[in-house]
Amino acid sequence: MSANPLYTPPPVRGEGPLHAPLNMNSKWIRLNRARRHAVNHGVTFLAILSTVLVIAPLVAILVYLLYMGASSLNLAFFTKIPAPVGMPGGGMANAIVGSGIILAVASAMGIPVGIAAGVYLAEFGRGKLLAGTVRFTADVLNGVPSIVMGIAAWVVLVDRRGFSALAGSVALAIMMVPMIARTTEEMLATVPHAIREAALGLGVPKWRTVLSVSLKTASPGIITGCMLAFARVAGETAPLLFTALGNQFWSFKLNQPIAALPLQIYVYAISPYDEWHRLAWAGSLVLIVMIMVAVTLVRIYAARGVMKGAS
Amino acid sequence: MALPQMTTEEDPKPVMQPIAVTAIAREPGAVVQMPGDGGISAIRRHLTERGSGAVADRIFMGLMLACALSIFAIVLFILTVLVIRSKLSLAQFGFGFFVSSAWDPVSGDFGALPFIFGTLMTSFLALAMAVPLALGVAIFLSELCPERLRAPISFVTELLAAIPSVVYGLWAFFVLVPIMRDQLGPWLYKYFGWTKLFDGYNFGVGLLTASIILAIMILPIISSITRDIMLAVPTSQREAVLALGATRWEMVRTGVLRNARIGIVGAVILGLGRALGETMAVTMVIGNHAEIAKSLFAPGNTLASVIATEFSEATGDLYLSSLVEIGLALFIVTVVVNAIARGLVWAVTRGTPSRAH
C-alpha cells in the first residue's frame, strides 16, 4: 500500500450507492493528504539543501582559487624562469612557453582531424550505423583517463628516444580528436537544412557546400569548441608526466624535455617551499581563467545557436 | 560516355538532379530532356564535362571518413601498444598479477591488488557521497528551480567540471588535507571510531581524503547529466501524474525518476568511470603507499596514481612493463565502464537534442 503514493485506501462510505461523492474530509483522506504533503515538503527541502551543500563549497573552492591565484600573480610570473631552490622570485615563463609549444603542436595534429571527423558524423553519416559507432567510440574515448594516452605516447615515442615535447603533444592530440569531433558534430547539427539545400540547389557541389556553407555558418561554435578542447588539454598533467617530463630552463626543441604549466604546478605544489607554492597558485589562476573564458564562450554560442552568431 | 555516378551509394538523396533542372530552366533554347528519359541533353552533357564535382565530392568524403575512422584507429593503437609493451609482465605474472598484493621493485615482484583495492575503495566511497547529492541537485535544477537560477547554477557546474585535476589537487593539498587532519578526522574518530573504519594515525592524506576530493570532482558531471536526462522526460508524463492529484514529489518519483532511472544509472556509471581514472588530484592526497589498509585514514594508492608517481622513475624492463600493464587494465576497465554508461544514457536521451558537457 505504501508502495504507491497515489493509492488512497477506499474511505468508509456508509450505506450510500457506490458512486456517491467521496467524503473528502474523512479522517483517512485528511491524514493521507497531510502525510503526502509533508513528504513533498521534506523532499523539496532536501533537494534545495543538497544544491546548497554542493554549490556553496564549489563556489568557495572557485573563489579561494581565484583569491590565492590573484594574490600570488605578478609580472615576474610571466617573464622569469624558475629561481633556484631557496631563492625568492622567479616565474613560470618557460612553462608558459613550453605549454604553448606543446599545445600548438597538439592542436595542429588534433584539430583538423577532429573537425573532419565531426564533419563526417554530421554531414555524411546521419543515421548510419558506422557514424553511430564512431560517435559512440568517441564518447567512450573521451572517458578514458588521460594518463593512458600518456603511456601510449611513451611506448611509441619515449621508450627508445627519450623524453620529448613531441610525445606530450601526441598524447594531448589523441585526447583532442574525440572531444572536437563531438562538439563539431553538435554545432553542425544546429545549422538549418534549408541553407544547405539552397547551396545544393544552386549547383554547388557537396564539398563546397560543407566547407563554405555548413562549416562557415557553424564556425563560431566550432572555434569555441576547439578552444574548449584546447583549454581542457591545457590543464592536463598526467599525460605529460612521462612524456614532456618538465624542464627548469628554456627549451624550444620538440625532441627535448620541455616545461609545461600544469606539470610545474604539480611539482611546485608537492614541494616544501612556500615560494614555490605561491607560484603554483598563480599558475592555477592562469589555467582557470583560460578555461573560464572558453567555457563562457561555448555557452554563449550554444545558447544563441550558430545562425545568429554567423555574420 | 557513361554518366558519372551522381550519388554515392551511401547517400540515397539524388542531390545533383535539381541542378540539371535549374540549368534547363535557365537556358530556354536547349533541348529539354528530363534526366531519366534515357537520352542526355546538351546541357547535361555540358555540366558533366565541366565536372560535376562528383569526383571531388568522393575525395572529400573519403578524407572526412578517414578522419572519422581515425577514432577507431586511436582505440586500436592504444590497445596494441599497451599489450605489446606489457608482454613481459603479462608473461611473467599472468592473471596472478591482479590478485597478488606484492609490489616490490627491488626483488622484481609485482602485483596490482593494492592499487585495485585503492581505486575501487576511493571510487565507491566517492560515489556514495556524490550520488545522493547529485540527485538532489538534478531534481532541484530540473523540477524545482526558478527559471532565473537555472542558467547560473548550470554554468557554475559546467565550469567546475572543466577545472583541471591538478588545480583540484592543489586545493585539496593545501585546504582539504589540513581540515581532514585537524577537524574532520578527529571528529569522525570521536563519533564513528567504534566502526573501526577510522583507526590508525590520521595524516590528513589517505583514502578518505582522496574519496572526498573525487566526490567533489565527479559531482558536477553526474548532476549535469542527470539533469539533462530528467529534462528529456516528456512533460506529458509530468502532467499526467499531476492531473491524478499527485504532489510534486510524487510527480518527480513516479513521473520523472521512474522514466529516467536507466539514464540516471548511466550518469552514475559515467561518474564512476571518471573516478576510476582520476589521476592528479588523487595522487596528491592519497599518500601513495601500496598497502591494503582497513582504516580509511590510511594512505593508499590507485591504479592511476601509481603510474603517475612511479612511471618516470621506474627502472628495469619488468617494472616498466608492470606499470604499462596497470595502464592496460585501467584502459580496458574505463572503456567497458564508459561503454555501458554511454549506452544507458543514449537509450534514454535518444531523440532529444544533445548538448556539450
B155/A257: higher pLDDT: A257
Residues B42, B174 within the same domain: no
The CATH number of residue B96's host domain is: 1.10.3720.10
Contact assignment for B134 to A37 by CB distance below 8 Å: no
Residue B60 lies in a domain: no
Nearest by Cα to A310 from A229, A226, A214: A214
Interface of B with A in 303-332 (CB under 8 A): 304, 307-308, 311-312, 323-324, 327, 330-331
Q: To probe the interface with A, which of B6, B55, B74 has the most A CB atoms within 10 Å?
A: B74
Residues B145, B285 within the same domain: yes
Chain A residues within 8 A of B136 when measuring between CB atoms: 46-47, 49-51, 54
What pLDDT score does B67 carry? Answer: 94
Query: Which residues make Cβ contacts (< 8 Å) with residue B202, sequence separation at least 6?
Result: B180, B181, B185, B186, B189, B297
Mapped onto helix, strand or coil, the DSSP state of residue A126 is coil
Strand partners, B109: B104
pLDDT in tens, A182-226: 989 988 988 888 999 999 898 888 898 999 999 988 888 888 889
Contact assignment for B249 to A44 by CB distance below 8 Å: yes
Residues B7, B141 within the same domain: no
Mean pLDDT for all residues in chain B: 83
Q: Is A113:B67 a contact under the CB 8 Å cutoff?
A: yes
Residue B71 lies in a domain: no
- B109 φ/ψ angles, rounded to the nearest 5 degrees: -115, 120
Whether pLDDT at B3 is above 50: no
Report how far residue B136's alpha carbon sits from residue B139's, in angstroms, rounded to the nearest whole number: 5
A153/A55: higher pLDDT: A153
Chain B residues within 8 A of A177 when measuring between CB atoms: 70-71, 74
What pLDDT score does A281 carry? Answer: 92
Instruction: Summarize the confidence of residues B70-81 as an average pLDDT.
Output: 95
Residue B63 lies in a domain: no
The alpha carbon torsion through B103, B105, B106, B110 (nearest 10 deg) reads 50
Whether pLDDT at A48 is above 70: yes
Does the CA dihedral B283-B284-B289-B295 come out positive or negative? negative
What pLDDT score does B8 carry? Answer: 43
Q: How confident is the model at residue B40 (pLDDT cuts 50, 70, 90)?
A: low
- B335 and chain A: CB distance < 8 Å anywhere? yes
Residue B209 lies in a domain: yes
Residues B180, B231 within the same domain: yes
pLDDT in tens, A6-41: 665 665 555 445 555 666 677 888 888 899 999 999
Range with lowest mean pLDDT among A9-13, B257-261, B307-311: A9-13
Residue B132 lies in a domain: yes
Instruction: Summarize the confidence of residues B84-110 as an average pLDDT.
Output: 89
Chain A residues within 8 A of B220 when measuring between CB atoms: 58
- A290 and chain B: CB distance < 8 Å anywhere? no
Interface of A with B in 242-281 (CB under 8 A): 242, 245, 262, 265-266, 269-270, 277, 280-281
Chain A residues within 8 A of B346 when measuring between CB atoms: 136
Chain B residues within 8 A of A262 when measuring between CB atoms: 164, 166, 280
Q: Is A112:A276 a contact under the CB 8 Å cutoff?
A: no
What pLDDT score does B36 carry? Answer: 52
Whether pLDDT at A47 is above 80: yes
Residue B80 lies in a domain: no
User: Nearest-CA residue of chain A relative to B86?
Assistant: A155
What pLDDT score does B177 carry? Answer: 93
The alpha carbon torsion through A49, A51, A52, A53 (nearest 10 deg) reads 80
Residues B248, B125 within the same domain: yes
Mean pLDDT for all residues in chain A: 85
Contact assignment for A113 to B279 by CB distance below 8 Å: no
pLDDT in tens, B121-161: 999 999 999 999 999 999 998 888 888 888 888 788 778 88
Residues B45, B103 within the same domain: no
Residues B12, B94 within the same domain: no
pLDDT in tens, A112-170: 999 999 999 999 988 889 999 999 999 999 999 999 999 999 999 988 888 999 999 99
Residues B175, B304 within the same domain: yes
Residue B73 lies in a domain: no
Number of domains forming the structure of chain B: 2
- The parent domain of residue B7 ranges over 1-52
Whether pLDDT at B24 is above 70: no
What are the Cα distances from residue B334, in Å, to A144, B270, B308, B339? Answer: 6, 9, 17, 8
- A195 and chain B: CB distance < 8 Å anywhere? no
B14/B180: higher pLDDT: B180
Residues B108, B193 within the same domain: yes
Whether pLDDT at B4 is above 60: no
Report how far residue B84's alpha carbon sits from residue B68's, in angstroms, rounded to the nearest whole number: 25
Residues B193, B142 within the same domain: yes
Whether pLDDT at A228 is above 90: no
Whether pLDDT at B304 is above 70: yes
Contact assignment for B342 to A139 by CB distance below 8 Å: yes
Q: How confident is the model at residue B34 (pLDDT cuts 50, 70, 90)?
A: low
Q: Which helix (H) or strand (E) holds B104?
A: strand B103-104
Whether pLDDT at B21 is above 50: no
Residues B206, B309 within the same domain: yes
Instruction: Summarize the confidence of residues B238-255 as an average pLDDT.
Output: 90
Q: Which helix (H) or strand (E) holds B109?
A: strand B109-110
Whether pLDDT at B69 is above 90: yes
- Which of B53, B166, B343 lies nearest to residue A207, judging by beta carbons? B53
- A200 and chain B: CB distance < 8 Å anywhere? yes
Contact assignment for A149 to B78 by CB distance below 8 Å: yes
Q: How confident is the model at residue B357 (pLDDT cuts 50, 70, 90)?
A: very low
Work out how many CB contacts closer than 8 A connect A with B: 315
Strand partners, A258: A245
Report how far residue A186's alpha carbon sits from residue B1's, in angstroms, rounded to the nearest whole number: 41
Residues B210, B325 within the same domain: yes
A113/B56: higher pLDDT: A113
Residue B226 lies in a domain: yes
B36/A287: higher pLDDT: A287
